[in-house]
Amino acid sequence: MADEVTHLIFGNLAILIPVIPIIASFIVLFLGKYYDKKSHGNLFALVATGGSLILTILVSGEIILRLLFEHAHIEEKIAFTWFHVGNVHIEFGVLLDPLSAVVSLLVALIAFLVVVYSRSYMSHEGSPRYYAEISMFAAAMLMLCFSPNFVQLFIGWEIMGVCSYLLIGYFYDKETVPEGQPHPASASKKAFLTTKVGDIFLFAGIILVYLTTVAASERFPGSVYKPSFDFIEIRHMIEAGVIPGIFDPGLFVFIALLIFGGAVGKSAQFPLHVWLPDAMAGPTTVSCLIHSATMVKAGIFLVARSYFVFEFADSDAMLIVALIGGITAIMSGTIALVQTDIKGILAFSTISQLGYMTIGLGVGGMGVAIFHVINHGLFKALLFLSAGSVIHGAGTQDIREMGGLRDKMPQTSIVMLIGSLSLAGIGNGFFSKDAIILHALDHASHEPLIYLVWLSSVITAFLTAFYIFRLWFLVFPGESRKPEHHAHESDSWMTRPLWTLAIVSLVLTGIYLLGNIPVLNIKLIPELNIEHHITEWLMGAAPHIDNGLVFITQLSSIIIALLGIGLAYLVYYPRKGATVSFPEDGTFKFEISEKDSIISVQQTSRSLIRGIKLTFFGRGIQRILEKGYYIDDLYLGLVHIIYEYYCEAMNWIEKNVFDNAVKFAGRIGYELCGISKWWDDTVIDGVVRLTARTSVALCGLAKATDERVIDNGIIRGSAKGVMKTGGYLRRIQTGIVENYALYTLMGALTIIIIGLLIAGVFPL
């Protein structure tokens, strides 16, 4: 790699990439009602996301081509100072490096395709609000991708949180939802609050990183090291040994885990994954955007972006990251097995794949994680958009009510097959997933616990192949289980984005194959070995992995994927003469009219699985999986318990502490009264009586004066006066808030005028 810094030709355009959709989102909000009325202002969003896609292709394309052919070291920051407080300059701008180039390309592409797709998909339910939010969502992710510092990243992060809230709750006024599905309004609330937990961790992490830079700048006053939020500056400080000279890596474990906490929330990792399955309450296009490009990838991107913190931190941080990834992958992979909602399967599959990416981050290959981000983004967008097409065509989300859609929706069925293969680990998904498994296995020799993670990733690969083909086999082949649904193929606004994604997916597979044929380990054109390149660009150098390990892993990956698909075929594929149906008891029936050899194998395996499912343990496991390991219920229970105990404790304090205090005070008062009563009765009364007698005499005198002068004159007179004044003044008290505000203003003005007079502004 050459060391000289090259200036990018299109670099200055990069700032426009997030800006265009932001502007468009406001335009569409106000003008979407008037122009392009039929599709709710889709045109504005289309132009904006298309424009930013073209710019991204220019900017990122240049970066990638230069990386490929010039082996340049590209890291260019184009930024202006947004504001400065003290000696901290907060900048706003773009950071152009391989990471931002690769991820932004994916984001811009998928955002554009989703907007194209929405034109038809949301033609009935759309509104300018929808397109404004979608544009803002994409813009926020692009802003996050290009952000040169933690502050801008956090802004993009939070805008995305808000947009996801708005979009998940898009159908907030829906009156009824299908059973078992959350209401959009509550789903959006859940998503927002759950990710907010992660955001707080991230915020704390950012502040701590900043404080370390403050300490570094104080250690070396007058040096180039300034307190900063900037990625490059902080990385330089770590690399130059300034921060390591002051702080222990153990502290950075803490910081790294706080930052990772943000990623756990946003990327739906194990303890905070509960929001993502509910997020499917939004429109399918939104799910697509959330699952493939914007929201959940932000967490992985964040960790990749602040990888220098993780690298510097003790290896414990990485280990925890990898373990969380492993738990997430296998847990949601198993939950996906029992889902019956087409989007539910894809949602849990996303969580499981995000687990893979987190494993990738944890086992020391941020390159492979980003590589999987790209591939997963493509095929998951493809799968979600196809699922949208299926839902649009078939009018249901339940895969038990589908079946036989291949004849009615031939295009969707083919593209979804491509996506499913990719997810199962045959297409472009193979390369990245396999790389992650490989790195995990390689890393396990240093860290024995990683063997568990590796095991989880291998089992998840099998589960993935199984559940995604369960979906495909139940939806497309065979005969329709609900013939009254008249399914139809979607129009070209929907199929074209699908084909685009399918073709991109296939082309990428081809490129990867040309670069490196797995198992055989033949590199036809080494320039196209993208996996190796991405690792090299992002990490500096690709770690060397033993060839034997590569061979075994790749071979086993393919075998595992095929095994998964084969099992799904045996259990779920409705061959000619055999139908699958779903009776009420939660199992499903397999009826045959004519027999051939495969069908009898299918029947055997089917009855075997049915037998397992119907045992006590089988039913229990099924129930646990359907409930998502009871994590939702656990959280709900915890909140209830805390709430109840808190109330209980407060009640006890109220009853025992405060009440007794009041009673005690009362008792003291009573006793004091007793004393004073005695004093009163004996001493004062005597005095009083004496005085009274004297006064009675005086009173006789006074009474005469009183009745004549005071009663009639002063008291009645003044009372009347007060009544009259009150009668006038009560009109001021209108009870209307605005009037009081006006009086306040008048009062303020009076005070100001008096102040001015006293100050001598107006000469009197």
Binding site for another protein (CB under 8 A): 85-86, 729-738, 741-742, 745
> Do 78 and 230 touch, CB atoms closer than 8 A?
no
Q: How far is residue 382's CA from residue 416's CA, in Å, rounded to a whole number?
A: 7
Which bin fits 247, alpha (ψ -120 to 50), beta or left (φ > 0)? beta
7 versus 730: smaller Cβ distance to another protein: 730
Single out the residue of 74, 70, 136, 132 nearest to residue 100, CA to CA.
74
Name, in order, each residue with C-beta under 8 angstroms of 1's C-beta and a sequence gap of 6 or more.
Answer: 71, 72, 73
Least distance from another protein to the Cβ atom of residue 749, Å? 11
Least distance from another protein to the Cβ atom of residue 728, Å? 11
653 versus 742: smaller Cβ distance to another protein: 742
682 versus 733: smaller Cβ distance to another protein: 733
547 versus 733: smaller Cβ distance to another protein: 733
| Per-residue tokens: 481 | 């289980």
**Helix residue ranges, H only, 231-314:** 231-239, 242-246, 249-266, 275-278, 284-288, 295-305, 307-312
> Do 219 and 242 touch, CB atoms closer than 8 A?
yes
Least distance from another protein to the Cβ atom of residue 726, Å? 8
Residue 35: Cβ within 10 Å count: 12
Name, in order, each residue with C-beta under 8 angstroms of 280's C-beta and a sequence gap of 6 or more.
Answer: 181, 287, 341, 343, 344, 346, 347
| Per-residue tokens: 415 | 């593209």
Helix (H) or strand (E) holding 580: strand 578-581
Least distance from another protein to the Cβ atom of residue 742, Å? 6
Q: Is 314 exposed, middle or buried (0-12, 13-18, 19+ CB in 10 A)?
A: middle
Single out the residue of 285, 222, 214 nearest to residue 247, CA to CA.
214
Question: Token match 């949301």: residue?
Answer: 122
Least distance from another protein to the Cβ atom of residue 738, Å? 5
Least distance from another protein to the Cβ atom of residue 133, Å? 21
Helix or strand or coil: residue 227?
A: coil
Least distance from another protein to the Cβ atom of residue 731, Å? 8
- Residue 174 backbone phi and psi in degrees, to 5: -60, 135
Least distance from another protein to the Cβ atom of residue 162, Å? 14
Least distance from another protein to the Cβ atom of residue 748, Å? 10
Name, in order, each residue with C-beta under 8 angstroms of 315's C-beta and a sequence gap of 6 or more.
Answer: 447
702 versus 756: smaller Cβ distance to another protein: 756
Least distance from another protein to the Cβ atom of residue 744, Å? 10
86 versus 448: smaller Cβ distance to another protein: 86
69 versus 83: smaller Cβ distance to another protein: 83
Torsion of CA 449, 453, 459, 461, to 10 degrees: -150
| Per-residue tokens: 520 | 């055989």
Residue 122 identity: M
727 versus 763: smaller Cβ distance to another protein: 727
Least distance from another protein to the Cβ atom of residue 759, Å? 18
According to DSSP, residue 710 is labeled I
- Residue 579 backbone phi and psi in degrees, to 5: -125, 155
Helix or strand or coil: residue 144?
A: helix
82 versus 630: smaller Cβ distance to another protein: 82
92 versus 551: smaller Cβ distance to another protein: 92
559 versus 756: smaller Cβ distance to another protein: 756
